[in-house]
Structure 1
Amino acid sequence: MEYGLLKNLVNGEFVTAASGDEIPVYNPATAREQVGSVPAMSSQDVAEVFAAAKGGAKTWKKTNQLARGRVLLNAANIIRSRREELVELIVTEMGKTRSEAAGEVGKTAEFFEYYGGMARDTYGDFLADARPGTFAARIVEPLGVVLLITPWNDPLLTPARKLGPALIAGNAVVVKPATVTPMITLRLAEILHEAGLPAGVLGTVTGRGSDLGDALFEFEGLRAVSFTGSTAVGKGIQTKLAGRGIRVQTEMGGKNAAVVMDDADLNMAVPTIVAGAFAQAGQRCTATSRLIVQKGIAADVRRRIAEAVRELRVAPGFTEKADLGPVIDDGAQNTIRGHIEHAIGQGVEVIARRELEGPAAQVGAFVEPTFLGVTPEHDIWREEVFGPVLGMVEVSSLDEAIEAVNDSLYGLSSAIFTSNLADAFRFLEEADTGQVSINQPTTGWDIHHPFGGFKDSGSAFKEQGRDALEFYTRVKAAAVRTH
């Protein structure tokens, strides 16, 4: 499928870059087949986007809450009506399987529906005041202009996760999608424009980092930046904006662990862990990459997961019953395979590997799902691989399991599989991660669940649910003397 040139939304119009330069977009399941292009914007183009956002912020702040909500609800309806074309674009551009892409489109609609419904919620409160003839109030206001920097692995859902709370709160938004998967975000901008978003309230920026430089952060009226991506880039943004009074929200890397205790239901645990580790080719920040198993059942768990890995079907995303598609590009393919080969060189055991066959073995950025026997001393136990790789260690007790979970620079998501209620609640209390599951995968958090990690996985601000509004709003205290 060839999509041609998709344009950026700037001040209510869809435009190319001033230079006319374009960035090609490729299908990761093929031998670098170009499927479309987007404008290669310059710093001058970016300045125009932010100038429009300045005006859009004033308009949107004055817009009635119910009118804001109606736009988001309209967007949800349009997304559902165009489900098939959006699914096709995600599969083509990013490489997900059709079922994974369909799930992403459905969740995207739900994000806008959820936050659109918040238009009828309270914003602020009346407060008691001890002074005679006086009442006080807590007033919630939008910040102004906010910048969203979104990743390639969920190129439709992540912008929606951020746009929903940002827009219902009354902010103007500039979105910079990942350079390898920009087209679906531009389609989303078209949908929001059609849904009734006023000019300037949303702007999109596509461009190479070498061309844009620091232009995204130079706008004097920028009030917040929400970033999802690697820990290195997220920390760089935090450093870059330090001292400027700009809020920064970062959702970064993870090295998520699942614990299996001797009393776990393996018929439930094993398929759950396999899906958490290998779905979306392991390219999820919450993917299970570390498996911690109590020794009494370690041999059984090894055997069951090895059998499941050998049966995974790796194929292009449009293939019926494909379990996982390609990774994002050949650079990621080489990096993931490099992690595996380095681990083998350190003495890691390859318990099971699903060799590629058919189209996946011939062209495209496919990686073999790999199950490894490791120790905490191996580099791959600590380094984020972001691919279809699962490493397993054995422990003797719950104490050792919790220690292994927390022995990481990251703290995004963790899970335990057990039938012991006391152990489950102890794990819930002591696991040093922002998301904790009991007999559920490390993945799969719903739109209304507060989402975000600890340590090097994230910042203090949560995404999703009502908690997300805290990042995109400020509170003003008011006192009014009536007589």
Structure 2
Amino acid sequence: MPVREMEILAGGQWVSSSGSVDVFDPTDVREPAARVPALTARQVAEIYDAAAAGFATWRRTSPFERAKILHEASALLRSRTAEIADALVTEMGKTLAEATGEVGKAADFFEYYSGIAREGYGTLLNDARPGTKASFQREPIGVVLAVTPWNDPLLTPARKLAPALASGNSVVIKPASETPMSAIHLARALHDAGLPAGVLNVVTGRTSEISDALLDDPRIAAVTFTGSNEVGERLRVRLASRNVRFQGELGGKNATAVLADADLEAAADAVMAAAFGQAGQRCTATSRLVVEREVHDRFVDILRERVAKLTVGPGKDSATTMGPLVSVSQRDSVLGDIARAVEQGAVVRAGGDTPADPERAHGCYVNPTILVGVTPAMDIWRHEVFGPVLAVRAVDGFDEAVEAVNDSVYGLSAAVFTRDLSAAHRFVDEVECGQVAVNTATTGWDVHHPFGGFRDSGSAFKEQGSEALRFYTRVKTVAINYGA
């Protein structure tokens, strides 16, 4: 297959650079699948020039025109689903069905926020002064830097861009180096929908060469980041002294609790999807499983039977139900986590290795893995693995189940399976997570649902829904004396 040569959107133009960054297909990493520009620090500075000019135009653009452009971008994404999904599978490795769903979800964000763009932007307030009317209004904050991850390389940019643009901001987006093609496709849809020059700009390149130019520009009003806690904390500290607004959607170690009265077949369906969908590379994936002891062995057997039916392979193969991990380094990291868990006493009940098929030898595959006998002292219980690995722990009763779910520095997503309505409501009230599910998976939050975690899983600013607008806007209070 020929290597795809891609340009990036900057200042309303499609541009290249003298250098390039290789993008690899995780099904076979021997040769690059695509190349994107490796921008220089000077080019990044010029992009911020364009973003500042774009903001000056976009903030004055009618909200009805903004809505029209976002709605058209949504339609273009849908019409280009096959092309975009193909690129997404090529660079990230998820199955074609998962990629197709991601394109639809990305389009949903622009469709939803095109409606939000038309709504009110403030409210009237009572004022104690005679002859005075007071109000507050929301305004865009300026140039937003969006740093996005490799696991959902189209959906996560859409989740950030749609509310940012609907609010009137301009955006500079830095996609993950492993998966830049999806963000470029997203930029093309917005550009073709009529987005003015400079309102959206894409930066690709080597972090070591452009990070200072990317992060230190004085025109940045806010940074929205999805990724690891290590990087997120460095960003938070780096930006704090400049009073740059920061939003972080960070790690998770999500737990599903299965109580003894649960419908075990339905619970198994949900756990399988949440643990092994997208090869476990979701921030909301179930990576810890807490099961009441009396049904523990039976439930693990049900899961093992279902894992045995999964087909690990290339995402574009219609027979594949779980694709590879995104890169060699990610594969090796996950295998290392499994090996460490076994050293610490966990027992592999399924997987734990790579496929034996020689056709998979040059890919980044890890077989779906179930570990039992896991204890709170093990690293696998604490550390985010971000792969198809499910750590199972037996507990005695509801209180111990909740304690186990909360036994983490993270607090993104949790689920419980039970037929007891009282237990369900208690679980919702007592778990320390931003998203809580009852009798459904930890994954799968809709575009209008506020999304974000507690504790080390993220910052106070939520994404999605109307709550997302709080990050991308500032509030101005107004009082007008019209005469008593």
Fold conserved between structures, TM > 0.5: yes
Give 1:138's aligned residue: 136
Counterpart secondary structure, 1:460: coil
| Structure 2 CA distance for partners of 1:156 and 1:360, relative to 1, 3 Å | farther
Letter in 2 for 1:410: Y
In 2: Cα distance, 1:279 partner to 1:455 partner: 25
The answer on whether the counterparts of 1:127 and 1:136 sit within 8 Å (CA) in structure 2 is yes
The answer on whether the counterparts of 1:2 and 1:34 sit within 8 Å (CA) in structure 2 is no
Give 2:434's aligned residue: 434
Displacement after TM superposition at 1:2 (Å): 3.8
In 1: Cα distance, 2:345 partner to 2:136 partner: 60
Greater mean deviation of Cα atoms: 214-223 or 260-269: 214-223
Candidates 26, 33, 38, aligned match of 1:40: 38
Give 1:9's aligned residue: 9
Letter in 1 for 2:422: A
Displacement after TM superposition at 1:357 (Å): 4.7
Counterpart secondary structure, 2:5: coil
Counterpart secondary structure, 1:173: strand
In 2: Cα distance, 1:164 partner to 1:390 partner: 33
Displacement after TM superposition at 1:108 (Å): 0.5
In 1: Cα distance, 2:155 partner to 2:29 partner: 26
Give 1:98's aligned residue: 96
Question: What do the CA deviations read for 1:379-435 (whole angstroms, capped 9, x no partner)?
Answer: 111111100000100000111111111110111100000000010000000100111
- Aligned pair count reads 481
The 5 A counterparts of 1:43-62 are 43-62=41-60
Letter in 2 for 1:404: A
The answer on whether the counterparts of 2:3 and 2:32 sit within 8 Å (CA) in structure 1 is no
Report the TM-score, using the length of structure 2 for normalisation.
0.98
In 1: Cα distance, 2:435 partner to 2:2 partner: 39
Give 1:121's aligned residue: 119
In 1: Cα distance, 2:31 partner to 2:69 partner: 36
Report the TM-score, using the length of structure 1 for normalisation.
0.98
In 1: Cα distance, 2:222 partner to 2:30 partner: 36
The 5 A counterparts of 1:178-193 are 178-193=176-191
Give 1:463's aligned residue: 463
The answer on whether the counterparts of 1:260 and 1:418 sit within 8 Å (CA) in structure 2 is yes
Give 1:170's aligned residue: 168
Question: What do the CA deviations read for 1:313-334 (whole angstroms, capped 9, x no partner)?
Answer: 1010011131110000111111
The 5 A counterparts of 1:371-390 are 371-373=370-372, 374-390=374-390
Displacement after TM superposition at 1:225 (Å): 0.3
In 1: Cα distance, 2:236 partner to 2:389 partner: 30
Gaps of 5+ in 1: none
Gaps of 5+ in 2: none
Counterpart secondary structure, 2:177: coil
Counterpart secondary structure, 1:199: coil
In 1: Cα distance, 2:324 partner to 2:81 partner: 22
In 2: Cα distance, 1:235 partner to 1:378 partner: 24
Letter in 1 for 2:360: A
The answer on whether the counterparts of 1:125 and 1:137 sit within 8 Å (CA) in structure 2 is yes
Counterpart secondary structure, 2:71: helix
Displacement after TM superposition at 1:362 (Å): 2.6
Give 1:236's aligned residue: 234
Greater mean deviation of Cα atoms: 430-439 or 207-216: 207-216
Counterpart secondary structure, 1:165: helix
Give 2:332's aligned residue: 334
| Structure 2 CA distance for partners of 1:95 and 1:359, relative to 1, 3 Å | farther
Question: What do the CA deviations read for 1:39-69 (whole angstroms, capped 9, x no partner)?
Answer: 1012111100111111111111100001001
In 1: Cα distance, 2:149 partner to 2:314 partner: 21
Question: What do the CA deviations read for 1:330-371 (whole angstroms, capped 9, x no partner)?
Answer: 111111001111111112111112762546633211111110
In 1: Cα distance, 2:24 partner to 2:406 partner: 38
Letter in 1 for 2:279: A
